[in-house]
Amino acid sequence: MAFCKNCGTQIPDGTELCQNCANQGAANNFQNAANNVVNDFTNPTDETGAFDPADIEATKIMSLFAYLGILFLIPLLACKDSAFARFHANQGIVLFIFGIIGGVVAVIPFLGWILSGAVGIFSLVLTIMGIINACQGKAKRLPLIGKITILK
Ligand SMILES: [Zn+2]
């Protein structure tokens, strides 16, 4: 007979943790993931210091277009050499793709509609946050999607 290494409950031979501890672990992982998203909102990763202030000043207005759907092309084409515009264009593209996925899942009745609605609301919030960040000349990573890099 074996015992759970974590809590000492008797468990079948060949296993290390009891079901109780395994469930607890899964709940903790979910809790951590939820905390990370909340933390992204309240305390976003701010990389503004890594950009040239002159570049930010020159491109921040163009950069806000990155978050308006296909208009992410404007900062990409108009400010080709700007790292700051590229930072926002990258987030805009990821947000754009995220929105397309939200639209596609809407073909699935009920669950897809709910998911699509949730993606739509989340996208709208991120769009507003992105535009505000760009206007303020900040290079802040958006919650969840901001960690994805498509444009190097
Ligand atoms: Zn246990």
Domain ranges, residue 73? 46-147
Domain annotation covers residue 16: yes
Domain annotation covers residue 152: no
Number of domains in the chain: 2
pLDDT (tens digit per residue) in 84-126: 999 999 999 999 999 999 999 999 999 999 999 999 999 999 9
Per-residue confidence (pLDDT) for residue 119, from 0 to 100: 95
Q: For residue 20, how far is its CA from the centre of ligand 1 (angstroms)?
A: 6
Q: What is the pTM of this model?
A: 0.82
Do 21 and 84 lie in one domain? The reply is no
pLDDT (tens digit per residue) in 42-69: 999 999 999 999 999 999 999 999 999 9
Residues in the chain, how many?
152
Q: For residue 65, how far is its CA from the centre of ligand 1 (angstroms)?
A: 52
Do 19 and 92 lie in one domain? The reply is no
Do 109 and 134 lie in one domain? The reply is yes
Element (H, E) at 11: strand 10-11
Q: Whole-angstrom Cα distance, residue 130 to residue 66?
A: 8
6-10, 51-55, 72-76: least confident range: 6-10
- Give residue for tokens 């509609």: 113
Do 34 and 51 lie in one domain? The reply is no
Q: Whole-angstrom Cα distance, residue 87 to residue 147?
A: 11
Which stretches within 43-110 are classed as H helix? 53-63, 73-78, 83-104
Q: What one-character DSSP code corresponds to residue 152? A: -
